[in-house]
A = this chain, B = another copy of it.
């Protein structure tokens, strides 16, 4: 939630000249996105988001991320559409960073999602998964099961500063998940980070999904597991089975969840909780006190992980036997 890279009026005017965007009317740095710098830009052609990619996004991944957005927007999914410049480039360079324009989407992310929101997210995620199967590019998940242990080893026992016993708890989970992680589930493009702040609503309808910078090729059901973690717990970290049921029903109304996927949901959800726990612990221990962005509290994911740990069947996520 910060502007990491300041740009000058002259730089931006030069940059915009490479697009069919007309005249610059105004630009404001916005406090959105943890990874990148974003500006809302008004030109006489409309409102756009300009993103400068900071170090966490690798330049070589941009053709995948931006190509995916362009493909999905063309397929009718409401996501930001990248603009190509006069030379047909989907991103170029501004202030020493890769930079891209995308269309501005109206909509509001919901701080306290209700069941109807969860159902709507389920539907849009299923549409994304179906459209994604036709997308030609692929990208390995950089935060999949095989990446968790190396990430853990970057901090190791230091995790116990956050909560005594946390390091051992993580080690046990790693041992279990590395063995039990499924392999043979339907794969395709997943969003990988579909948290409430990445879904815009207008009048209870999804008006846009954003922030595809964790998108990759992985098991589709892993995206369901991420959403169960992101959408279906209450602020006190109690699991809300009605929300999960709404989410899964919404999804299944568009794309059938296969029996093997259903069966794998508890282990995938446990893995998703561990994945966010690991990055949050890492960021918590590695963010200096004067950073522009406050790291997110990892404790929330310790509790979510405990919940999934004790789940014995996918029925506990509200899936009726079918």
Q: Are B10 and A31 in contact, CB atoms less than 8 angstroms apart?
A: no
A106-150 near B? 1/0 per residue, CB < 8 Å: 111111100000000000000000000000000000000000000
* B3 close to A107 (CB less than 8 A): no
Interface residues of A in 83-114 (CB under 8 A from B): 105-112
Knowing A42-B106, A289-B289, the reply to whether A111 touches B28 (Cβ < 8 A) is: no
How near does chain B come to A17, taking the closest CB pair, in angstroms?
Answer: 14
- Report if A195 contacts B (CB, 8 A): no
The docked-state distance in angstroms from the alpha carbon of A92 to that of B289 is 34
Segment at the interface with B among A19-27, A69-77, A222-230, A246-254: A19-27
Complex contacts, A29 vs chain B, CB 8 Å: 1, 30-32
Q: How far is the CA of A10 from the CA of B30 in the complex (A)?
A: 20
Q: Is A312 an interface residue (CB 8 A)?
A: no
Assess whether A153 is interfacial by the CB under 8 Å rule: no
Contacts of A111 in B (CB 8 A): 8-10
Interface members, chain A 3-52 (any B CB < 8 Å): 3, 8-10, 23-32, 40, 42
Q: Which of B24, B30, B203 contacts A30 (CB 8 A)?
A: B30
Q: Does A202 lie at the interface of the complex (its beta carbon under 8 Å from any beta carbon of B)?
A: yes
In whole angstroms, what is the CA distance A200 to B27 when docked? Answer: 11
A106 and B28 in contact (CB under 8 A), knowing A3-B1, A10-B112, A112-B10? no
A296: min CB distance to chain B, Å: 14
How many monomers of this chain does the complex have? 2
Total residues of chain A contacting the partner, CB 8 A = 33
Q: Is A172 an interface residue (CB 8 A)?
A: no
Quick one: CB contact mask for A282-294 with B, threshold 8 Å, 1 for yes? 0000000111100
A185 located at the interface, meaning its Cβ lies under 8 Å from any Cβ of chain B in the complex:
no
B24 to A40, Cβ gap below 8 A? no
Chain B residues closer than 8 Å to A107, beta-carbon distance? 25-26
Contact residues in B for A8 (Cβ distance below 8 Å)? 111-112
A257 touches B (CB below 8 Å): no
Flag if B31 contacts A3 (CB, 8 Å). Answer: yes
Complex partner residue of A31 from B9, B23, B31, B109, CB under 8 angstroms: B31
Residue of B nearest to A32 (CB): B28
Closest chain B residue to A11, Cβ basis: B111
A314 within 8 A of B: no
List, in ascending order, chain B residues with CB within 8 A of A290's CB. 289-291
Question: How many Å lie between the Cα of A200 and that of B8 in the bound state?
Answer: 13
Q: Quick one: CB contact mask for A186-210 with B, threshold 8 Å, 1 for yes?
A: 0000000000000010110000000
B-binding residues in A (CB < 8 A) = 1-3, 8-10, 23-32, 40, 42, 105-112, 200, 202-203, 289-292
**Can you list the 6 inter-chain pairs with the closest CB atoms, starting with the nearest?**
A29-B31, A25-B106, A8-B111, A3-B31, A289-B290, A28-B30
Q: Can you identify 19 A-B contacts, CB atoms within 8 angstroms? A: A8-B111, A8-B112, A9-B109, A10-B112, A24-B108, A25-B108, A25-B202, A26-B105, A26-B106, A28-B30, A28-B32, A29-B30, A29-B31, A29-B32, A31-B31, A40-B40, A289-B290, A290-B291, A292-B292
